[in-house]
Amino acid sequence: MATRKEKINFTIQRLRGFLATFARTKRGLAGVAILVIFTLIALLAPVLAPHDPVKDRFVGGYQAKPEWYDKLFPADPQSHNFIPMTNPGFNNPESLSDFNITKTSSLVSVYHNPTLGKDAPGSLAVEYKNPSSTPAGTQSVNITKEFYYPHQRPLAQISFYAQFYVEGSTYMKENKVLLDVPVNISLVIYRVVNETTKITTDIFRYNELIHPYELPLIGTSLDARRTVTEPTTTWIPNPVSRLDSNNLRGPIFGTDVTIDITNDTLNQPANYIYSVELVFLDTAPRKSNVQTTVYVDDLNLKGLGTAYGLFGTDREGRDIYSQLIYGTQISLLVGLSSAGISVVIGLIVGMIAGYSGGAIDELIMRITDALLVIPNLPLLLVLVAVLGPNLWNLILVIGVLGWMGFARVIRSVILSLKERPFIEAAKAVGAGNVHIMLIHILPNIMALVYVTLAMTVPSAIVAEAALSWLGLFDPAVMSWGRILYDVQQGLNIDKWWWVVPPGLLISIVALSFIFIGHALDEILNPRLRQRR
Amino acid sequence: MGLREYIIKRAVFSFILILFVIVLNFMIFELMPGRVEEMFIRPGMRREQVDALIRLWELDQPAWTRFLKMVYNLLSGNFVNTYSYRSQQPISIEIGMRLLNTMILIGTSTVISMVLGILLGVISAHKRGGKLDNTLVLMSLATYSFPTFWMGMLFILVFSIQLHWFPSAHPYPTDWQSIYRDVGGFPPPAATIPIGGISIAIPSLTEIQGRVYHSILPVAVLTLFQYGGWLLLARASVLETITEDYVTTARAKGLKERTVLLKHVLKNASLPLITSAALSFGFMLSGAIITEGVFSYRGFGSWIWESVQYKDFPVLSAMFFIIALCVILANFLADILYGVIDPRIKYG
């Protein structure tokens, strides 16, 4: 009897021999190398991919081209994501220096408020304070930021952000709380026409008068339909506007306003000025010692370019590079799990049929034949369409429909194996059926199992891709097939940077498994070597 | 067991299989989670409309009545009473036209890919172990791993969008619908030859040209999808025969290598090829479903594709049955053929 140590040594030796043979097959090695790379990509996806493949919408413009596109085709210039503001959140007092602030009166003071803020503490406070009882007329404050827009082409989409929070002394009228000094807020973008004399044209203007306003005594947001009764330090989200190429209609400053502005607001390389203009209207007779403070936060301008990322973006502005990276996970997961399911079922069915023989064998094999005859893809389609497309259903259905061929092979191998003398010997010693199958037969067919596993993965990967491409994908995950579905649905086949990569990745991964399978086949079935 | 019993046995098995497919077909859609009505009831429908639709699809009847009706309808090939959820029209209206389109696509590409694959397979086997052999085998393995739909998209990208050589969609020019509106939407046939009771129409040159022009890309894709399998199969079966003694004898007689390969080797190696032509029918259909989807080619495959998008289950069910039926019949024929051609086969 061999000792345990000898056994282990024997196993190690065999493994070494196997690896040495494997290292000699070029294709096998290439397959393993590719597989290792893709496994690493799949595992490191959260690190490698900057965005979530499904949820992160509009990280770039709609159907943006890749970042490198205009370097390849300089005749077709692109715009890139553009965010001129460096510290829009006013998180520290220095951030005020980013802006140029002009005011008309000493009644107005502009300072940094370190506590109040939208998401993070800190905001820009503009305070109008008049202790006297005579109105001081209109007083204005301009907060401007000059920036340079470098691109030849307009952006795909521009969003303006500004958060306002108004508090101040008030009076009651007809059950409404009104500001003593109403304030008019304008957002303006100017283009500097002449650099030296600073002549500007007003290319975008948005105005809103904050006067008839339901203002609780301590604090409020500017959303008129929401009355804040508690003293609050949290800001209620109040995006000023989100501007696309389409006109957007949305609640802005509490009222529905349609703004006609197109994405070519910034349409040529030039200096532009983004300006917030506050006009305090201290004109009506009122009590003495009045005050209105406007807190400004998240003063931002975000432009989405017509080019973004390594592979551009899809119809919802999602990063295709991230989708490709995350798609690796799905392909490998579906491929391996489905192939695993297929092989296990095929192994069990084939072993039972081959070992038991007789009527059971006949019955099992007829069912196998029947399933083998039914066309695979239509059945897959129908089943997934009926069960509902989620990832586990896909894996299960692909796996459950892929075992038949393997079961037949296993059966025929076992038919010959079970007549061998060593099985007879085991039977003579009194070994049970299960024992014989697991201890004596299984190790003899493991080589076949490995080969089949490697050869089944590609078809599972391609099947998943096909189903996803047909629209039967799990909405929560992004697979390579689904990327191509998006291409097809949006009639975007002309966008080669979007069409080529997913299919290429599917083919490479599938091919790597085929290579490994063939290499294993050659090593584990030495009979084949002369034929090839 | 004689040939006759063998055929009877295969026929019985095929018939059982057809019944099995029908049962499976019924079960899948019956056990579907959720109410069937949700699939076709649109918001804003009145109660009477919904009731009429429920009667149309006989959802008010008990399951076994519907099952028997379905068995009858499917076995008799009667799709007049099968209504699509999407168009609410009987399926039989579209079936003929789509069947013709699919047959053109599958037939052409199968012939081309068989010829191409078998020729390359013989060459590959002849030069076994060489560089050419390696390349050919590698390329056919690659076709297994290339997703067909992606290949189709690449073809459209290159030949249709970039080079403007071929149209990217439809089995025939779309303007036929308006040009030949009075004669059924197709160019009138060049001639009709009456044979017995039926008359066979010979399509006009315009129709042939239009169809060929539109079919080149999908046929090319489907050919690429299939040829790899043929190549590997032909190579394997030629390798089985090439070492036989009679081949050596033929060579010793001084016959040309080409004659030896094509007459002596391929002839004897062709048996598995003939049967697998029938057996690969299901595989071909899978390719056709996808290719038709890519090229919006109005055939069976694109019908399945559309039905999946619209959850049009009656159509899916009918398509599934027809395809399964075709495959079962093809398999039956293959079995018979096998038995007739090769007398050495033990009928068992």
Most confident among A185-199, B304-318, B323-337 (mean pLDDT): B323-337
Burial (CB count <10 Å: 0-12, 13-18, 19+), residue B215? buried
Residue B143 φ then ψ, to 5°: -65, -25
Tell me which amino acid residue A416 is: S
B142: nearest CA partner in chain A: A511
Q: How confident is the model at residue A221 (pLDDT cuts 50, 70, 90)?
A: very low
With a cut of 50, say whether residue B42 has pLDDT above it. yes
pLDDT per residue over A112-156, tens digit each?
888 777 667 788 888 888 888 888 888 889 888 888 888 888 887
Q: Which pLDDT value is given to residue A257?
A: 31
Q: A377 at the B interface (CB within 8 A)? A: yes
Please, where are the H alpha helices in A1-93? 4-24, 26-43, 45-48, 69-72
Whether residue A181 lies inside any domain: the answer is: yes
pLDDT at B249 over 60: yes
The residues, ordered by sequence, that sit 6+ positions from B5 with a Cβ below 8 Å of its Cβ are B347
By CA distance, what is A489's nearest residue in B? Answer: B294
Q: Do residues A261 and A344 share a domain?
A: no
Mean pLDDT, residues A259-275 taken together: 67
Mean pLDDT of A321-339: 93
Answer whether residue A69 is part of any domain. no
Amino acid A260: pLDDT: 35
A40 touches chain B (CB under 8 A): no
The answer to whether A314 and A483 are in contact (CB under 8 A) is yes
Distance from CA of A458 to the nearest CA of B (A): 6
Q: Are B293 and A470 in contact (CB under 8 A)?
A: yes
Question: What is the per-residue pLDDT for A398?
Answer: 92
Tally A–B CB contacts below 8 A: 135
Q: State the burial class of residue B193 (Cβ atoms within 10 Å of its Cβ: 0-12, 13-18, 19+).
A: exposed
d(CA A304, CA A317): 9
Residue in chain B lying closest to A366 (CA)? B13
Number of Cβ within a 10 Å radius of residue A527 = 6
A337 and A296, same domain (yes or no):
no
Residue A250, pLDDT above cutoff 50: no
For A525, B52, B124, the CA distances from A13, given in Å and listed in that order, are 19, 75, 37
Tell me what the mean pLDDT of segment A471-499 comes to: 88
Residues A118 and A245 placed together within one structural domain of the fold: yes
Cβ distance of A370 and B286 shorter than 8 Å = no
Structural domain ending residue among the three candidates A274, A304, A334: A304
- Three-state SS for A403? coil
Concatenate the DSSP letters of all residues of B45-90 into one string.
--HHHHHHHHHHTTTTS-HHHHHHHHHHHHHTT--TT-B-TTT-SB
A244 and A347 co-located in one domain: no
Q: Do B316 and A381 touch (CB under 8 A)?
A: yes
Strand partners, A172: A177
B157-161 long-range contacts (CB < 8 A, ≥24 apart) are B157/A493, B157/A494, B157/A496, B157/A499, B159/B217, B160/B217, B161/A493, B161/A494
For the cut 80, the answer to whether the pLDDT of residue A161 exceeds it is: no
Of the residues A269, A304, A339, which one is the last residue of a structural domain?
A: A304
- Tokens 């069912």 correspond to what residue? A367
Domains and CATH numbers, chain B: 96-311 (1.10.3720.10)
Q: Is residue A381 part of a domain?
A: yes
Please, what sign has the CA dihedral across residues A306, A312, A315, A317? Answer: negative
What is the pLDDT averaged over residues A313-329? 90
User: B328 vs chain A: nearest CA distance in angstroms?
Assistant: 6
Residue A8 inside a domain? The answer is: no
- Dist. CA A100–CA A306, nearest whole Å: 30
Give, to the nearest 10 degrees, the angle between helix B300-310 and helix B281-294: 60
Nearest to B28 among A386, A481, A532 (CB): A386
Query: Which tops the pLDDT comparison, B199 or A361?
Result: A361
With a pLDDT cut of 70, the percent of chain A lying above it is 83
CA dist A184 and A205 (Å) reads: 13
Tell me which chain B residues have a C-beta less than 8 angstroms from the C-beta of A506: 145-147, 150
DSSP class of A230: S
Is A378 close to B294, i.e. CB distance below 8 A? Answer: no
A374/B286 touch (CB, cutoff 8 Å), yes or no: no
Q: How far is A281 from chain B (nearest CA, A)?
A: 51
At B40 the pLDDT is 64
The nearest CA of chain A is from the CA of B319 a distance in Å of: 8
Is A507 within 8 Å of B327 when comparing Cβ atoms?
no
Residues linked to residue A145 through DSSP beta bridges, in sequence order: A274
Q: What is the CA radius of gyration of chain A?
A: 35
Measured between beta carbons, the chain A residues lying within 8 angstroms of B136 are none
B150/A374 touch (CB, cutoff 8 Å), yes or no:
no
Distance, CA of B110 to CA of B227 (rounded, Å):
8
Rounded CA-CA distance A182/B328 in Å is: 82
Query: How deeply is B7 buried, as exposed, middle or buried, from its count of CB atoms within 10 A (0-12, 13-18, 19+)?
Result: middle
Last residue of a domain, one of A304, A328, A346: A304
The token duo for B173 is 């020019």
The mean per-residue pLDDT over the stretch A13-21 comes to 83
A270 in contact with B, Cβ within 8 Å = no
Mean pLDDT of A98-108: 85
Q: Which pLDDT belongs to residue A443?
A: 84
Q: What are phi and psi of A70, to 5 degrees?
A: -80, -10
Verify that A378 and A455 share a domain, yes or no. Answer: yes
CA-based angle A165:A169:A174, to the nearest 5? 100
Based on the domain organization, do A144 and A111 belong to the same domain? yes
Is B285's CB within 8 Å of A472's CB?
no
Contact (CB, 8 A) for A79 and A306? yes
CA B149 to each of CA A513, B41, B152: distance values in angstroms, whole numbers, following the listed order: 20, 32, 5
Which among B144, B147, B320 has the least Cβ separation from residue A503?
A: B147
Contacts of A462 in chain B (CB under 8 A): 144-145, 147
Closest Cα of chain B to A172: distance in Å? 48
Q: What are the percentages of helix, strand and coil residues in chain A, rounded to 5?
A: 45, 25, 35
Is residue A255 over pLDDT 70? no
Q: Quote the mean pLDDT of chain B.
A: 80
- pTM value? 0.80
CB contact under 8 A, B316 and A387: no
With a cut of 50, say whether residue A287 has pLDDT above it.
Answer: yes
- Residue B196 CA to its chain's centroid (Å): 29
Range of the domain at A196: 79-304
How many domains, in total, are found in chain A? 2
Closest CA to B112 of B233, B202, B216, B211: B216
A487 in contact with B at a CB cutoff of 8 Å? yes
Q: Report the percent of chain A where pLDDT is more than 90.
A: 15
Q: How far apart are CA A465 and CA A458, in angstroms?
A: 11
DSSP B203: P
CB contact under 8 A, B145 and A471: no
Residue B149 to residue A388, Cβ atoms within 8 A: no
CATH of the domain at A168: 2.60.120.260
Q: Which of B286, B289, B296 is the best residue to mutate to test the A interface, defined by the most A CB atoms within 10 Å of its own CB?
A: B286
Cα(A205)–Cα(B56) distance, integer angstroms? 59
Residue A248 has what pLDDT?
Answer: 26
Which of the residues B27, B128, B145 would you substitute to probe the A interface, choosing the one with the greatest number of A C-beta atoms within 10 Å? B145
- Tell whether A42 and A96 lie within a shared domain: no
Question: With an 8 Å Cβ cutoff, are A500 and B129 in contact?
Answer: no
The residue that leads in pLDDT, B143 or B132, is B132
CA atoms of A86 and A251, how far apart (whole Å): 27
Residues of A in contact with B316 (CB under 8 A): 381-382, 385
Residue A256: pLDDT band (50, 70, 90) is very low
Does residue A95 belong to any structural domain of this protein?
Answer: yes
Average pLDDT, chain A: 78
Q: Which residues in chain A have Cβ-Cβ distances shorter than 8 Å to B324? A: 373-375, 378
Residues A389 and A424 in one domain: yes
Question: Is the alpha carbon torsion for B87, B297, B307, B319 positive or negative?
Answer: positive
Q: Would residue A2 count as lying in a domain? A: no
CB contact under 8 A, B147 and A381: no
Q: For A5-16, write each residue's pLDDT tens digit.
A: 888 888 888 888
- The per-residue DSSP string of B310-323 comes to HT-HHHHHHHHHHH
Q: Which chain B residues are within 8 Å of A468, Cβ to Cβ? A: none
Q: Is the pLDDT of residue A258 over 60?
A: no
Q: Which residues contact B293 (CB under 8 A, 6 or more apart)?
A: A469, A470, B149, B301, B302, B305
**DSSP line for B110-175:** HHHHHHHHHHHHHHHHHTTTSHHHHHHHHHHHHHHHS-HHHHHHHHIIIIIIIS--S-SS-SS-TT
Query: Does residue A9 sit within a domain?
Result: no
**Residue B59 token pair:** 């959802």
CATH of the domain at A358: 1.10.3720.10
**Distance in angstroms (rounded) separating the CA atoms of residues B316 and B305:** 9
Q: How far apart are CA A205 and CA A187, in angstroms?
A: 6
More confident residue, A186 or A428: A428
Answer whether A72's CB lies under 8 Å from A78's CB.
no
Same domain? A162 vs A187: yes
A352 close to A362: Cβ distance less than 8 angstroms: no
Task: Tell me how close the Cα of A461 comes to any Cα of chain B, in angstroms.
Answer: 9
* Nearest in space to A129 (alpha carbons), one of A276, A285, A297, A294: A294
Q: Which residues pair with B200 in a beta bridge?
A: B193
* Same-domain pairing of A299 and A325: no
Judge whether B221 and B148 are in contact, CB under 8 Å: yes
Residue A329 and residue A380 in one domain = yes
Q: Write the CA distances from B92 to A363, B209, B316, integer angstroms.
A: 37, 28, 13
DSSP A109-173: EEEEESS--SSSS-EEEEEEEE-SSS--EEEEEEEEEEEEE--SS--SEEEEEEEEEEEE-EEEE
Most confident of A65-79, A216-230, A394-408: A394-408
pLDDT of residue A196: 66
Residues of B in contact with A502 (CB under 8 A): 150
Q: Which two tokens stand for residue A307?
A: 């080019």
Whether residues A268 and A180 share a domain: the answer is: yes
pLDDT digits (tens, 9 = 90+) for A509-532: 998 998 888 888 878 776 544 444
Cα–Cα distance, B82 to A475 (Å, whole number) = 31
The Cα A118–Cα A110 span in angstroms is 18
Positive or negative: CA dihedral B17, B21, B22, B26: positive
Phi-psi domain of B76 (left: phi exceeds 0; alpha: psi -120 through 50; beta: other): alpha
pLDDT of residue A136: 84
A residues 385-404 lying closer than 8 A (beta carbon) to B: 385-388
Residue A61 lies in a domain: no
CA–CA gap between residue A333 and residue A328 (Å, rounded)? 8
User: Residue A326's pLDDT is what?
Assistant: 93
